[in-house]
A and B are shown apart, each in its own frame.
Chain A
């Protein structure tokens, strides 16, 4: 019986993933969306508390979001900070605090909600990809898979969610360190 935690800020993608997983057998647990403010991801204690008492899970989905503000230039340090923390640090904290709850044979998926396409964001998406590749090594020792979904292959949130649901499912049991999607976001 699967038990999958979905961690991340409120977004259309988060809801689509929960909806998609809920139509399958097993339990879906939403992890404290309110604790995950992408503009303040350094609030690690709140994130740790959100996972407290969750118990064993078979899957973990970390949804991240680039909280682009309009006040910053595309190459500014403020832009870099918000994109990198919103996408990469949230994912790291999800892995740190949710990862230990995933049981052997389970799976983790990192995914970034559709967002802007500028160098800071592209870099943060690259870090998310690299984090899934890098972390797949440590988690493999515990029999846990780690993969990434880039949402650029479709604009349909339900279809993006299907890719996430596939990677946490048993059908992807020999897939780890991989990614679906190319990573470049369409500017919208």
Chain B
């Protein structure tokens, strides 16, 4: 029987792919999920598949396929998320629901699908990706703030439900991270404006720079490991001290 696998959603994105690479480097077997099949890191053992996490039929189909290949899952890293630039007044309700269903509901749906495969895992762990943004006022991105705060609520609920089963649940809240997601948020700005914004953002962090994706991945890898075996239901800020200046 093959070894346990770790599921990563949003594995084609900046943070997700960095986590997949770190997990592969640690010799973990991978199940990578994104809207399009993500690339497996070179030399990695595992599978990669497309799934819309906000569509229950798509999740069911994906896990039917995964169940044929994987008998045990010991880790779930819920990274998949999207952004929405719209004020409360201008927001379309359909877009709001899409934000809720991808950024929070999708994490719950994947957790539900993974649980039956976690029963035999020696060290089962779920890590949900939130954001420092979940604590911030924002005229332009209130739905992002709302859903990232929602991730913490979800983790809180899961920690109560799953702790008694020996499944640890963590939330990781990065500050600014140097990814395509971050750069897309500055796409409407000129190059000079974007650079100025990122420079200001860097200076808001006590460490005076934004994170590299591998710096988020290293923390996730540690939370998944037995070294963090008594950590449960907490939010870990991986933000270079950003929360300390707000």
Q: Which residues of A does B touch, CB under 8 Å?
A: 42, 44, 74-77, 80-81, 84-85, 88-89, 92-93, 95-96, 99-100, 117-131, 133-138, 140-141, 177, 183-184
The reply to whether B150 and A119 form a contact with Cβ atoms under 8 Å apart is no
Q: Is B225 an interface residue (CB 8 A)?
A: no
User: B138 near A: Cβ within 8 Å?
Assistant: yes
Give chain A nearest CB distance to B117 CB in angstroms.
14
| Docked pose: A99 CA to B147 CA in angstroms | 20
B-side binding surface: helix, strand, loop or mixed? helix
Whether B138 pairs with A119 at a CB distance below 8 angstroms is no
Q: Are A126 and B161 in contact (CB under 8 A)?
A: no
A184 touching B156 by the CB < 8 A rule?
yes
Within 8 A of A (CB), among B31-67: 56
Identify B157's interface contact among A88, A92, A118, A131, CB under 8 A.
Answer: A118
Contacting pair B161 A74 (CB below 8 A) = yes
Residues A117 and B160 in contact, CB atoms below 8 Å apart: yes
A143 to chain B, nearest CB (A): 14
Q: How far is the CA of A183 from the CA of B156 in the complex (A)?
A: 10
State whether A134 and B109 are in contact (beta carbons under 8 Å apart), knowing that A127-B149, A127-B150 are contacts in the complex. Answer: no
- Can you list 15 contacts pairing A with B, beta carbon distance less than 8 Å? A75-B112, A84-B100, A88-B146, A92-B88, A92-B93, A95-B88, A99-B89, A119-B158, A120-B157, A124-B150, A125-B153, A126-B149, A130-B146, A135-B137, A138-B142
- CB-nearest residue of chain B to A120: B108
Which interface residue of A74, A80, A92, A100 has the most chain B CB atoms within 10 A? A80
Number of residues from B at the complex interface, CB < 8 A: 42
Whole-angstrom CA separation of A117 from B35 in the bound complex: 31
B141 touches A (CB below 8 Å): yes
Knowing A77-B105, A120-B108, the reply to whether A136 touches B137 (Cβ < 8 A) is: yes
The answer to whether B154 and A131 touch across the interface, beta carbons within 8 angstroms, is no
* CB proximity to A under 8 Å, residues B128-155: 134-139, 141-154
Residues of B within 8 A of A177 (CB): 137
Contact present for A76 and B112 (CB under 8 Å): yes
Q: Kindly list chain A residues whose C-beta atoms are within 8 Å of the C-beta of B112.
A: 75-76
Residues of B within 8 A of A128 (CB): 146
Known contacts A77-B109, A123-B108; A137/B153 CB under 8 A: no
